[in-house]
Amino acid sequence: RALACFSDFTEMMRALGYPRLISMENFHTPNFRLVSEVLLWLVKRYEPQTDIPPDVDTEQDRVFFIKAVAQFMATKAHIKLNTKKLYQADGYAVKELLKVTSVLYGAMNTKGVERADVNEEDSSKFKFDLGSKISDLKAARQLASEITSKGASLYDLLGKEVELREARTESIARPLEINEAEKMMKVAIDCVLEEVQKTKDMLSNVALDEANLEVKIEKRKLELERSQKRLQTLQSVRPAFMDEYEKIEEQLQKQYSSYLEKFRNLTYMEQLLEDHRRTEQEMFEEAANMLRLTQNRLKEEEQHLLRSGNNDDSDVDIQEDEGSDSEVEDRQIMKQHAAMETLLPG
């Protein structure tokens, strides 16, 4: 089946006048260059003025080329092409190309052109105007709908022909009365004259409305000119309070700069105060810790002295050097109490 499709494609391309010979070996491997040339040639056969870029060097250019060709065939020829198969550029692409070539080949056969006589010069003269065919198809559809509606109304009227024939014969057989005819003509003339008078009144009203509108337009134009002149004068004149405004603006700028400076100084002083309070708090905590340690040491020494005072009577006979040591210890305790008294007020 693939061989038959390929042979049909080559025969159709040869009949359409493609200047290059196409063989089956060209599509054993993907050959995008050949597929792009064939597609561009077929598009030119449909519409020679088509502007599709032939650049296929990069991947983006190839994708754009395939999309443009597929969109052209879908809009102009109503042929739906598979872009993926065309992009493969192998044997599957031949089936998609066959869709286009078969349409061109059938159009050529309907015009009576023989395949053997078609060469490169004759193929340039071959054109297929599909847009005119679409317009003719729309006109034919519209005429067909009109024919059906007219036929239906004609069928209804023919069904009433039996009754209308009798009334028509009676009207024709009845003698014509001149007085009634004159009355009817007078009534018709009066109706026409009345309609003419109404039309004249409407025309006169239109003229009046037009004149009123022109007067209003002139008034608006004058108001616009006066407003523009007033605007120009206001833009050119300097306001009386502008000098005072500029002076106040300069004073405000100075006040703002002084405010910024004071705000920065205040922020800096607050930061210094915060640092000073933090250092004082740290010193107070350190002094409290020292006082706590000293109190604990004094308590331990007092307990030690109390335990040493409750010893046996045999310890009364102590040596003089030992008595001197106890006196030294008492002096040290008194010094520590004096240090504590000096620390407590702080």
Per-residue pLDDT reduced to its tens digit, 117-154: 444 444 444 444 555 567 777 888 888 888 988 888 88
Which run of H or E residues covers position 220? helix 178-236
* Inter-CA distances, 2 with 92, 95, 106, 270, Å: 9, 8, 21, 93
Confidence of residue 234 (pLDDT cuts 50, 70, 90): confident
Report pLDDT digits (tens) over 15-55.
878 887 777 777 777 878 888 888 888 888 888 777 787 77
Whether pTM exceeds 0.75: no
Say how many CA atoms lie within 13 Å of 219 toward its Cβ. 6
Instruction: Give Cα 67 distance to the centre of its chain.
Output: 23
Let me know: does 56 contact 76? Beta carbons within 8 Å.
no
Looking from the CA of 212 toward its CB, the CA atoms found within 13 Å total: 6
CA 209 remoteness from chain centre: 47
Closest among 52, 32, 34, 35 to 44, alpha carbons compared: 52
User: What phi and psi values does residue 56 have, to the nearest 5 degrees?
Assistant: -135, 30
10, 22 Cβ separation under 8 angstroms: yes
Domain ranges for the chain, please list them: 1-110, 178-241
Contact present, 97 and 38 (Cβ < 8 Å)? yes
Three-class SS of residue 159? helix
The proportion of the chain whose per-residue pLDDT surpasses 90, expressed as a percent, equals 23
To the nearest whole percent, how much of the chain has pLDDT over 70? 80
Q: Please state which architecture CATH assigns to domain 1-110.
A: Orthogonal Bundle (1.10)
> pLDDT tens across 328-339, in order?
455 655 555 555
Structure tokens at 204: 């006169």
Residue 296 has pLDDT above 90, yes or no: yes
User: 89 with 34: CB under 8 angstroms?
Assistant: yes
d(C-alpha 111, C-alpha 134), whole Å: 18
Helices 2-16 + 91-110 axis angle, to 10 = 50
> Residue 99: its pLDDT value, please?
82
DSSP secondary structure code for residue 26 in this structure: G
329 Ramachandran zone, left/alpha/beta (phi>0; psi -120 to 50): alpha
Residue 63 has pLDDT above 70, yes or no: yes
pLDDT of residue 250: 93
pLDDT at position 172 is 77
Average pLDDT of the segment spanning 277-298:
93
How far is the C-alpha of 204 from the C-alpha of 60, rounded, in Å? 69
Q: Which conformational region is residue 90 in: left (phi greater than 0), alpha (psi within -120 to 50 degrees), or beta?
A: beta
